[in-house]
Amino acid sequence: MNITLQNIGRRFNRDWIFRGIDYTFNSGQSYAILGPNGSGKSTLLQVLNASLSPSAGTISYTFQGKPVEADQVFNYLSLAAPYLELIEEFTLNEMVDFHFKFKKYRNELNKKELINLLNLSKSENKLIRYFSSGMKQRLKLILAFCADTPILMLDEPTSNLDTQGVDWYLSLVEQFAHNRLTIICSNQEQEYGFCDKRLSISDYKI
């Protein structure tokens, strides 16, 4: 999947969050969107995944050389972000089953292998509402990494993770981020150090 931005801007009321972005995100490469907290990284990510429309400019998507409509982009991506909620009334088993009704497993994984990767085999029947913030973040990440989609988008991926959790996140990168368009929103190098390309949101402030 390729994503091409032409003069993209997004504003809130009369204030521009960013403006004038001309950029192409190419299939198979990894990108870091950088900037301080509140700079607009998450807003740009939402424009890229078509959950927000740009206030100016045009954005286009192509997959294997064919155009993809913005309202179909969700079929091609996996996303983990602090503002995305899990269904807390589900158990871990139910959450995984529900997620993979809509996505296929990557690398021929199955539910048992995924839960083993999470190190949560003893919590299969535990309600998500009783998970710690770190357990919830790990679950969000593994659902995104292990879905077979050409785009992987992660916003502040190591939020609520300890040092061991950061190492676990980086192991997922090694196993599941290859050969897909990977976009990381971050201001912590431990999250994006592996990325091929960097885009600073500060370069597009008015």
Q: Which helix (H) or strand (E) holds 159?
A: none
- Is the pLDDT at 205 greater than 90? The verdict is no
Q: Report the alpha-carbon angle 75-81-86, nearest 5.
A: 80
Can you say whether the dihedral through the CA atoms of 104, 109, 110, 114 is positive or negative? negative
Domains annotated for the chain, with CATH where assigned, are 2-204 (3.40.50.300)
In the structure encoding, which two tokens stand for residue 19, read together? 């403006």
Supply the pTM of this predicted model. 0.95
Contact 88, 128 (CB under 8 A): yes
The whole-number pLDDT of residue 27 equals 95
Closest CA to 4 of 90, 83, 73: 73
Q: Tell me: the pLDDT tens digits for 53-70?
A: 999 999 999 999 999 999
DSSP code of residue 97 = H
Whether 30 has a pLDDT exceeding 80, the answer reads yes
